[in-house]
Amino acid sequence: MLILFNKPFGVLTQFTDKGNAGSERPTLSGFIDVPGVYPAGRLDKDSEGLLLLTDDGRLQARIAHPKFRKPKTYLVQVEGEPSDAQLEDLRRGVTLKDGPTRPAKARRIPPPDLWPRVPPVRYRKSVPDAWIEITITEGRNRQVRRMTAHVGLPTLRLVRWSIGEWSLDGIAPGEWRAV
């Protein structure tokens, strides 16, 4: 079984919260009541979008393990106006504290037609923002956020739109579909 889930902002990519006692945070169990499925990869609490869950360990490995280089596409709202040089740096790959990243696909896009984020992204009149689409083939911890920050474009909103051939198309936040 494979489940495509549109993870809302603020939801942990786990079924239980083993964090601070008394400060229950939303988890996958509040959205998905299917026994025996586990996330194939992770998505930060501060990020939204496609999360794949499966009950098949082999499929989970093929989706999540970096050696399979599954492309993951993100729609990223950044602070600032991306220059051609900044986008080219992302395309070549950047060197982060944990080493160089693989080259990424990166391009400016018009603001996508997405659901409103709750809470909304802070708007500042004096600082422009823009949207870029980034596709990576690895999945380090907070990688897209670290890459955009490295080139001077801090991430304001991050939505994973697709993983390989699977996408969020037609799946509302908090909803899921079995494929």
Between CA 10 and CA 101 the distance in angstroms is: 26
**H helices then E strands: how many in the chain?**
3, 11
57's tokens? 């360990």
Average of per-residue pLDDT across 106-128 = 91
Q: What is the pLDDT of residue 68?
A: 81
42's tokens? 């992770």
Average of per-residue pLDDT across 76-88 = 97
Indicate the number of domains in the chain. 1
Q: Mean pLDDT lowest for which of 1-15, 87-101, 117-131?
A: 117-131
Instruction: Give the residue numbers spanning the domain of 139.
Output: 2-178
- The mean pLDDT of the chain is 93
Check if the beta carbon of residue 96 is closer than 8 Å to that of residue 146. Answer: yes
Q: What is the pLDDT of residue 65?
A: 78
Between CA 165 and CA 154 the distance in angstroms is: 28
Of residues 85 and 65, the one with the higher pLDDT is 85
pLDDT at 83 over 70: yes
- What percent of the chain is modeled with pLDDT above 90? 78
Q: What is the pLDDT of residue 140?
A: 87
Which residue in the list 17, 33, 44, 46 is annotated as catalytic?
Answer: 44
175's tokens? 């909803």
126: domain CATH number? 3.30.70.1560
Instruction: Please report which confidence band the pLDDT of residue 18 belongs to, taking 50, 70 and 90 as the band edges.
Output: confident
Check if the beta carbon of residue 134 is closer than 8 Å to that of residue 104. Answer: yes
Instruction: Note the pLDDT tens digit of each residue in 118-145.
Output: 888 988 888 899 999 999 998 888 999 9
Q: What is the pLDDT of residue 17?
A: 83
Q: Is 44 known to be catalytic?
A: yes
pLDDT at 19 over 80: no
Instruction: Note the pLDDT tens digit of each residue in 41-72.
Output: 889 999 999 999 999 989 988 888 777 888 99
Q: What is the pTM of this model?
A: 0.94
What is the rounded (10 degree) CA torsion for 109, 115, 173, 105?
10
Give which of 156, 159, 148 is closest to 83, Cα–Cα.
148
